[in-house]
Amino acid sequence: MRKHFSQTQRQFKQSAQTRITVSVVGLFLALLMVFPVQALQGPLSDLLRGEIAVEGQTRNERQRELPTIFREVLVRLTGTTEVLEHERVRAELRQVNDYLLQFGYQQRDGQLYLQASFDETRVRQLLQQANVPLWTGQRPNLLLWLAEDHPELGVRLVTRSEEREFLQALRATTQRRGVEILMPLMDLEDQMAIGPRDVWGRFQREVLRASERYPVSGIVSARMYRQVEEDYFAENVDDREGIEVEVVTDEPLDDERPLILEATVIVGDMSFNTFMVGDDEASLAEQFVHEVSDRIAAIFISRGDREMAQIRVRIVGLRQVSQVLSAENLLTSQAQVQSVHLQQFQQGVADFTVVIRGGAQALAQALDFDRRLRRTALRLSPVAEGDTDEPAVSEVVLSDEPDVEFEWQ
């Protein structure tokens, strides 16, 4: 009898615990549905910090260099150098101390650095007043395949382990801009998959195939060489794809001639070519990073996408409440998103109402680079034009069909 009572008591406790767990989960989801989450509430501490090399710790030098750090922070936050062209931003650069949160100094490799971090609230207010959006969503990371015309070795692939000005400037500038540009391992698998001439000729089929092993969002195939006379290159046609290839002759290079970098950038369904000239490898790398960063940022944060739209987003494959919260946080972190509201969650499917600048296409484009999601559907809805300069919200009738649908990975 006592044994039977103990078993009954344990079953009652387990049942009660199950009911409590279900109740807590239900309450949590109910709270998410009742209180819409405003976007851009996540910390930006990493993007709000910067540093610069200095000679000492004097106040005059600090006040002279702080605006430079602040400029880099603003460019990193917005993804574009155009932020520095706004009159309000230029004026506030003279009041940099009003935005300063803290500063300090660090000695590293024999060089003294001034480090500073800035107040997130004040910076947000400044950018809102200048009507410049933050780029806080998932930024695409790029894989760079770089071929060079070496004066002694001929056409070869540049490896990431080399100690040279181009790679050093590449790492430093990508860190300042808040973007990630990786380089291949160039191990045996890479060497078997692709050769220097494939990258030099920018044969995208071979480049894309060799890049499949890397978890990146975009591919860059580039070639770097010294400026030469017009007859330095001879034109050929490759039999594989009918693509025009430039074949290098044996004329020696003059190190004093300007360097040229040609690149093709592929990010998702979009691609563009870029061409730049520099006096040395360091300046060429800086130009390259700035150009690519500005072009990619323009894709996701278009100055013309000022109209707001209310869309319905469906995410399937959510098996835990923590995944629902992660999905909601992911939506709110996108720069174009103003607010997110969980409409319902059942049987692993969550429906959200999202107010976003640029509509469903802008959200789909931004989230295509997040490996936690796989887009399965996109239904474009027209966005009504506003009659005022203020961002108007186009009300979209919510049907059973979402404007954009993703599968949680």
Can you give 258-321 as a three-state secondary structure string?
A: CEEEEEEEEECCEEEEEEEEECCHHHHHHHHHHHHHHHHHHHHCCCCCCCEEEEEEEEECCCCH
Measure the CA–CA gap between 134 and 79, rounded to whole angstroms. Answer: 8
- Model confidence at 400: pLDDT above 60: yes
Measure the CA–CA gap between 185 and 300, rounded to whole angstroms. Answer: 29
Q: pTM for the complete prediction? A: 0.68
pLDDT of residue 26: 54
Measure the CA–CA gap between 142 and 177, rounded to whole angstroms. Answer: 14
Residue type for 305, please? D
Q: In the 8-state DSSP scheme, what is residue 246?
A: E
Rounded average pLDDT over 369-386: 73
Measure the CA–CA gap between 187 and 146, rounded to whole angstroms. Answer: 15
Query: Which residue in 37, 75, 32, 33 sits closest to 334, CA to CA?
Result: 37
Per mean pLDDT, which range of 146-150, 165-169, 394-398 is the poorest?
A: 394-398
pLDDT confidence of 137, banded at 50, 70, 90? low
- Model confidence at 394: pLDDT above 80: no
∠ CA(60), CA(61), CA(62), 5° rounding? 90
Measure the CA–CA gap between 326 and 324, rounded to whole angstroms. Answer: 5
pLDDT of residue 59: 96
Encoding tokens for residue 295? Answer: 């072009």
pLDDT of residue 319: 92
Give the percent of the chain with pLDDT over 90: 56
pLDDT tens track for 286-333: 999 999 998 888 776 654 445 788 999 999 999 999 999 999 988 987
Exposure of 389 in the CB half-sphere (CA atoms within 13 A): 1
Measure the CA–CA gap between 93 and 71, rounded to whole angstroms. Answer: 8
Location of each CATH 3.40.50 domain in the chain: 141-300
Between 309 and 357, name the one with better pLDDT.
Answer: 309
- Model confidence at 58: pLDDT above 80: yes
Rounded average pLDDT over 254-264: 86
Rounded average pLDDT over 208-235: 82
Beta-bridge partners for 157: 147
Query: Which CATH fold would you assign to the domain 305-408?
Result: Alpha-Beta Plaits (3.30.70)
Residues 6+ apart with CB under 8 A from 80: 135, 293, 294, 297, 298, 301
Between 314 and 40, name the one with better pLDDT.
Answer: 314
Rounded average pLDDT over 64-75: 96
Measure the CA–CA gap between 190 and 213, rounded to whole angstroms. Answer: 9
Query: Which residue in 201, 162, 181 sits closest to 281, CA to CA?
Result: 162
Task: Write down the H helix ranges in 35-135.
Answer: 59-78, 87-92, 120-129
Give the percent of the chain with pLDDT over 70: 75
Measure the CA–CA gap between 115 and 67, rounded to whole angstroms. Answer: 12
Rounded average pLDDT over 187-194: 96
Residue length of the chain: 409
Q: In the 8-state DSSP scheme, what is residue 93?
A: G
Per mean pLDDT, which range of 130-134, 202-206, 212-216 is the poorest?
A: 130-134
User: Whole-number mean pLDDT of the chain?
Assistant: 81
pLDDT of residue 270: 82
pLDDT of residue 407: 95
Work out the burial of residue 354: count CB atoms within 10 Å of its CB; fewer than 13 is exposed, 13-18 middle, 19 or more buried. Answer: buried
CATH 1.20.120, applies to 141-300: no
- Model confidence at 121: pLDDT above 50: yes
Measure the CA–CA gap between 343 and 35, rounded to whole angstroms. Answer: 10
Location of each CATH 3.30.70.100 domain in the chain: 305-408
- Model confidence at 231: pLDDT above 50: no
pLDDT confidence of 29, banded at 50, 70, 90? low
Between 129 and 391, name the one with better pLDDT.
Answer: 129
- Model confidence at 94: pLDDT above 60: yes
CA 209, 210, 214, 217 torsion-angle sign: negative
pLDDT of residue 10: 53
- Model confidence at 129: pLDDT above 50: yes
Measure the CA–CA gap between 197 and 155, rounded to whole angstroms. Answer: 7
Rounded average pLDDT over 257-282: 92
Measure the CA–CA gap between 289 and 305, rounded to whole angstroms. Answer: 25
